[in-house]
Chains A and B, each alone.
Chain A
């Protein structure tokens, strides 16, 4: 199974600060169809997860453009340019290139 390693496990940020979360895969996530099925999700406290970024760098509809994704093959990054209070929660990367689909262990973002 593909293992996704997220770092850091916790992140503390002030409002307006820019932060990055890393997701490293044990295998390349480049699919034979040319796409890379690496997504980022946010789970706010007490809520269901929501999709933020799909296929590495595509912003889901309705998601603020302070969120951005980058990377390729095995190394991926989620960046928040100017954290806002509503961004607190746990961020997960997820891969759907290889079955079984797997998730990272999560990065908890706290607001100072």
Chain B
């Protein structure tokens, strides 16, 4: 539907678990992003990857570890999370050309609950 697919859609994990969120974009874009959307804050940018290289880490705690093996796939590895990390995690992609940005396309998100 959106060209950006996220799995799983819902995830419940304990604070000692390790889990990974997956994102795949079918749009041929060269940039991918992780955003966090919580009940208490607006959309927050977490990580930016341009041409598979991480170009931005927006002061995100190390318990969140991104991985971008190629320009179509993006992962967010989760380890020893806290209950306040419960949120909707959104992946997005866009096409960046000659420093001229275009709209970001979002996936449906993964609803994460940390217990």
A and B co-occur in one complex = no
Interface residues of B (CB under 8 A from A): none
Interface residues of A (CB under 8 A from B): none
